[in-house]
Amino acid sequence: MSAARILTLYRAIFVALLSLASLQALLVGREGGHNIVLLAGAEIAAALALLWRPTQVVGACVLLGIFAVAQVLSALAAQWPTQFLQYAASTLLIVAMGRAIRREL
């Protein structure tokens, strides 16, 4: 399997898992009375933008901003989850590897 195909598969899985996690946060947030609809909705839209090459940089920038906001909100709640850092690293990896692979072609 080529590097481009592996990256395409990783990108699709990452977007699917991120969208599922955002959907779960939306459902839990509504039940708990928290107003996370805008943040989770934006995260889903930005993740989907990461799938399409012309919008992937914009989607990645929005995702990085959302992950930063989520990390700050977690810190304010005295929680220090590391998944937002992992999500950010994956987002950067997807964009950087995509550019590197395109340069080689």
- Give the single-character DSSP code of 87: H
Residues 56, 93: contact at Cβ < 8 Å?
Answer: no
CA distances (Å), origin 93, targets 6, 20, 25, 52: 12, 20, 24, 15
Predicted confidence band of residue 35 (pLDDT cuts 50, 70, 90): low
Question: Does the structure show a pLDDT above 60 at 18?
Answer: yes
Q: Domain tally for the chain? A: 1
Question: Does the structure show a pLDDT above 70 at 34?
Answer: no
Phi, psi of 35 (to 5 degrees): -95, 80
Residues 91, 63: contact at Cβ < 8 Å?
Answer: yes
What is the model's pTM? 0.89
Q: Which two tokens stand for residue 93?
A: 């990896």
Q: Can you give the residue range of the structural domain that contains 42?
A: 3-104
